[in-house]
Structure 1
Amino acid sequence: MSETLLTHINRDGLHHIDVAPSFETDDSFSVSLANHGAPIHVHLHLDDELSDVASLSATNHYIEANSTEAVPITVHDGPARGKLKVVTGYGAETAYVDVDIAEIDPEKDSIPVDESLSKPRQKPIQSDTDASELARNIPLVVLGIMALVLVLGVGVLVDWVLALFGAITVLVGIGVAGYFLVR
């Protein structure tokens, strides 16, 4: 909601409403209720023409002293013209805003998509950076070989069946690591 209709309450006296006489938009907007005095109840109402194309999340609002509340108004369709009614003090003061909702521009929030997105990506050609990456991972390969030698050495001392299982596990780990390195 990029646009805001500023509404000042209690600025020039209790229940006083200060709001622009008209407001134009082509999308959802918010009504900013700025209370400059004592706590107050504010009622917002969209007339029939506006309520056909827009909606309020809530109509009755309690605004604390010296605070501001933003009330979203969601525009579903357009164009339309109508009145937004702002009431304070349970009818003590009433103000009307002529709201003009222009036709919603579908291009405004759209994301342009060109035809290149429909084509599959090609795998990049191997380069020197791939070779340097492989060179950086040589210590990992050496560590895997050392782990394999260690497992075989333990197998000689303990049990060949256990060593065989450990060697297979290490080989699978080296294979998976190698796959991810060259992928």
Structure 2
Amino acid sequence: MPDTLSVHLNRERPRDLAPEATTLETDRSFVLSFVNHGQPLHVHVQPDERLADIATVSETQVYVAANETRTVDVVAPRDAGPADGTLRLVTGHGAESENVTVSITQERKDGGPDVAVDDTLTEKQSGPEPDTGVSLRHAVIPVAVVVAVVAAAGAIAVAVPDAGAVVVGVAGVLAGCGVGAYELLR
């Protein structure tokens, strides 16, 4: 879970800006949580050049509605390396501003070990492939039933005089059944 830095707005006076801490040390991305205690307000988030080189602020001009909370992600890639920088927070067209010193370290702050991913995880695993085919018995029975029904319809069509169109249709269906049987059995 990323670190969160809460910044209180309009708590003591209009356009008031009060981060809970003026320094933040983290080993990864973090979240700015703007908590507005009064009227709607725009906050400008400006990373200095050193911080902007390794971290990306998801939203640099943030509108926080009255008595609402808005969050902004500051994303630093895991391999960014250690760096120090300043995040400038500005309200009231520059009338109020606060600086937060940010230190991004390579040491994990949660005490957990880094997870090493072995390259063999990207290789295809060998072994028996799952059986996704249809058994021959399950395929032949429906085809045999269809062929029998079509053959019976064909016999009736031949017995009835002037049923030439029916004979052609039955022949087409039989040809289709033959192709289906061939595909199943090859």
TM (norm. structure 1) is: 0.71
**Greater Cα offset, 110-119 or 33-42:** 110-119
Question: Which residue identity lines up with residue 31 of structure 1 in the other structure?
Answer: L
CA contact (8 A) 1:151 1:166 kept: no
CA contact (8 A) 2:150 2:170 kept: no
Aligned to 2:13: 13
Please, which runs of 5 or more residues in structure 2 have no aligned partner?
Answer: none
- Aligned-residue identity in percent: 30
Instruction: Name the CA distance, whole Å, in 1 between partners of 2:122 and 2:41.
Output: 57
CA contact (8 A) 1:55 1:74 kept: yes
Instruction: Name the CA distance, whole Å, in 1 between partners of 2:117 and 2:46.
Output: 34
CA contact (8 A) 2:46 2:60 kept: yes
Aligned to 1:168: 175
Query: What RMSD in Å do the two structures reach over aligned CA positions?
Result: 3.6
Aligned to 1:149: 151
Please, which runs of 5 or more residues in structure 1 have no aligned partner?
Answer: none
Report the number of matched residues. 173
Aligned to 1:34: 35
Question: For residues 115 and 63 of structure 1, do their structure 2 counterparts lie closer, same or farther at Cα, with a shift above 3 Å needed?
Answer: closer
Question: For residues 74 and 150 of structure 1, do their structure 2 counterparts lie closer, same or farther at Cα, with a shift above 3 Å needed?
Answer: farther
Aligned to 1:80: 83
Deviation (angstroms), 1:16: 2.1
Instruction: Name the CA distance, whole Å, in 2 between partners of 1:58 and 1:123.
Output: 48
Instruction: Name the CA distance, whole Å, in 2 between partners of 1:101 and 1:141.
Output: 68
Question: For residues 148 and 109 of structure 1, do their structure 2 counterparts lie closer, same or farther at Cα, with a shift above 3 Å needed?
Answer: farther
Instruction: Name the CA distance, whole Å, in 2 between partners of 1:36 and 1:155.
Output: 86
Aligned to 2:52: 51
Residue 91, structure 1, aligned to residue 94, structure 2:
yes
Deviation (angstroms), 1:92: 2.7
CA contact (8 A) 2:56 2:75 kept: yes
Question: Which residue identity lines up with residue 50 of structure 2 in the other structure?
Answer: E
Residue 64, structure 1, aligned to residue 71, structure 2:
no
